[in-house]
Structure 1
Amino acid sequence: MEKIVLGVDIGGSHITAALIDLEKKKEISKTRFRARLNAHASAAEIIGAWALTIENAMGRYAGMPAWISIAMPGPMDYKNGICLIKDQDKYESLYKVNIKEKLAQRLNFPAAKISFRNDAVCFLQGEIFSGSIKGLDKAIGLTLGTGLGTAHMIDGKAFDSDLWKMPFLKGIAEDYISTRWFVTRFEELAEVKIKDVKDLVENHRDSPYFRSIFIEFSMNLAKFIYKFVRKKMPLAAVIGGNIAQAEAFFLDDTRKYLAQMMGYSFPIKRSTLGEKATLIGAGSCL
């Protein structure tokens, strides 16, 4: 059982959990559970929803995992399991809560065997471990979703680049590369409120602003990746997260704009593992 760990991916609107076989470098079949979350609920409700998803995943396999490794957005005291997210329109009730202790009590699982890692780090680590950049010795990773996650690789290990708050255009990078930007910008252009990028793609493709908003996003993303590349000098970038599921509407343009800035074609790869990348990465980060 030492090779069986539980990987957990917590985002701004969801939680996914699955058992990971580290020896085989893959998710154990039929152990994945996913649930949508209300990131504005009370701390007890949120932690209860997380615990239920984790219990469902563990309940599909005989025995207990050796470890629970949780990928979660920052800011956070990852070592001690204390949430420090503030003023980000999510998880307000968890500010300064020791999530590690609360989950350990709820799951009746040793706190010493529950660890937290930055979600972008876990995503990149998963892609290094068994995904689209396996074999590369220098790469960067971006998770595009409720927030912006960034990570870079050193000697085969992923580290948090913490560039979501980097000064960018008229604010910080996350202001322009996140679900929040799509929601705000589309409302400015079309005077229509959307829920997220999935809603935009599924219900507003006939809008005269549909193409223009993705072109603008492509340019913003290319500018950001250009700055990221200049900082870390990687051989390739890999992207994941909920927004990446709409890659058909922005990724080719992003590559084109970035090539114009750099003077050559820089590889931007789409995650081959999808959601599994963060789960596998969380497990392999031990």
Structure 2
Amino acid sequence: MVNVMGVDIGGTKIRLGIIDAAGKILYDEKIPTQFPLYPYLEENVLRILGDYPEVAAVGIGTHGFVDPKEGRIFFSTDALPGWSGTKVKEQLEAAAGIRVEVENDANCAALAEAKFGAAKGLDRVVCLTLGTGLGGGIIWDGKLLSGGPHGGAAELGHITLYPGGADCACGRKGCYEQYVSGTGIQRRIREAGLDITPLEMFQQAATDEHSQQLLEAFTYDLAIVISSLQAVFDMDSVVIGGGVSESAEYWWPQLLSQLKPLLLNPLDIQTAKFGNDAGVLGAALLVLEGK
């Protein structure tokens, strides 16, 4: 049975795992993200490969705009300083002597959910990762939709929701991720003059008017996002993951209520199955099956 390495690179930690063809994680390690990033990544990949010489290939999921054909980082925000322009595939293949593939981390999560998780067996799936930002991954007729001349395909978080709205890290205003991400929710709480966490806001919404208004604004905006994407992709299912989804029990009924009158057709909506495992499993799938 073929074993591969999956690597999930985030702004604060890197997760490295050895995964078999059935999606079972055989080895799992988390290390803090350090900079400069590439030499640190190479050092740790080679260290683990030394202990697992049977590993046939390495798949890497990372924040940022990625050229999946060349395995190069087109653009990354300050979350990963110095990462933009890095030729990850070329350098790591030369160092490790095995195949390396690189993809956006939200795309990797979509692969995991479509192959092994909530959307298993479905042909058209939109995955939304509600974390610090809003990641998007699209499975189109069973294949990952990614790439583009600037690595920006499926960057769903940077579609405009409110023209002239809140400043976004991409340099524009009013992007989806400024309203339905953890960061966007925190901004709205702060603007409302409250000193609570998003989880506390969700928990208090049943008894506190201000929290209820914030919850309704969040679920309405997320419903607009989902219904707009349905008009483009006519997907079988939407899978919602990321840290915000961990509190879904408090806002899921409100989302479905807001969404019902906005949908063009019935749509399956699910929370992600794998949670924090999706990134490393999806990265492994880049080299288990190809993109």
TM-score by length of 2: 0.79
Amino acid at match of 2:268: P
Contact 2:157 2:177 in 1 (8 A): yes
Contact 1:100 1:114 in 2 (8 A): yes
Contact 1:18 1:57 in 2 (8 A): no
Please give the alpha-carbon distance, in whole angstroms, between the structure 1 residues aligned to 2:4 and 2:194: 46
Please give the alpha-carbon distance, in whole angstroms, between the structure 2 residues aligned to 1:235 and 1:100: 33
1:99 — aligned with what?
Answer: 88
2:119 — aligned with what?
Answer: 133
Contact 1:255 1:265 in 2 (8 A): no
Deviation at 1:36, TM superposition (A): 4.5
Count the aligned residue pairs: 267
Structure 2: unaligned runs, 5 residues or longer: 147-153, 164-173
Amino acid at match of 2:159: M
Please give the alpha-carbon distance, in whole angstroms, between the structure 2 residues aligned to 1:9 and 1:243: 19
2:24 — aligned with what?
Answer: 26
Contact 2:129 2:135 in 1 (8 A): yes
1:252 — aligned with what?
Answer: 253
Once the two structures are superposed, the pairs formed by residues 202-281 of structure 1 within 5 Å of their partners are 209-262=210-263, 266-281=267-282
Secondary structure at the counterpart of residue 64 of structure 2:
coil
Q: 1:125 to 1:228 in 2, by over 3 A?
A: same
Secondary structure at the counterpart of residue 270 of structure 2:
strand
1:7 — aligned with what?
Answer: 6
Deviations 1:1-22 (A, max 9, x none): 6x11111122343322211101
For the pair 1:163 / 2:156, whether they are aligned, the reply is: yes
TM-score by length of 1: 0.80
Deviation at 1:158, TM superposition (A): 2.1
Deviation at 1:187, TM superposition (A): 1.7
Amino acid at match of 2:136: T
Please give the alpha-carbon distance, in whole angstroms, between the structure 2 residues aligned to 1:250 and 1:12: 27
Please give the alpha-carbon distance, in whole angstroms, between the structure 2 residues aligned to 1:217 and 1:260: 16
Please give the alpha-carbon distance, in whole angstroms, between the structure 1 residues aligned to 2:186 and 2:75: 21
Structure 1: unaligned runs, 5 residues or longer: none
Deviation at 1:262, TM superposition (A): 1.9
Deviations 1:83-132 (A, max 9, x none): 2335x442232222333455567xx413x622101222221211121111
Secondary structure at the counterpart of residue 239 of structure 2:
strand
Q: 1:54 to 1:217 in 2, by over 3 A?
A: farther
Secondary structure at the counterpart of residue 250 of structure 1:
helix
Please give the alpha-carbon distance, in whole angstroms, between the structure 2 residues aligned to 1:55 and 1:246: 37
1:109 — aligned with what?
Answer: 96
Deviation at 1:234, TM superposition (A): 0.9
Please give the alpha-carbon distance, in whole angstroms, between the structure 1 residues aligned to 2:45 and 2:270: 30
Q: 1:89 to 1:244 in 2, by over 3 A?
A: farther
2:133 — aligned with what?
Answer: 147
Secondary structure at the counterpart of residue 256 of structure 1:
helix
Once the two structures are superposed, the pairs formed by residues 20-59 of structure 1 within 5 Å of their partners are 20-22=19-21, 24-28=22-26, 31-37=27-33, 43-44=35-36, 46-47=37-38, 50-51=41-42, 54=45, 58=49
For the pair 1:190 / 2:193, whether they are aligned, the reply is: yes
User: What is the identity percentage for the equivalent residue pairs of Structure 1 and Structure 2?
Assistant: 25
Please give the alpha-carbon distance, in whole angstroms, between the structure 2 residues aligned to 1:178 and 1:245: 13
1:174 — aligned with what?
Answer: 177
Contact 2:46 2:96 in 1 (8 A): no
Secondary structure at the counterpart of residue 18 of structure 1:
strand
Please give the alpha-carbon distance, in whole angstroms, between the structure 2 residues aligned to 1:25 and 1:91: 28
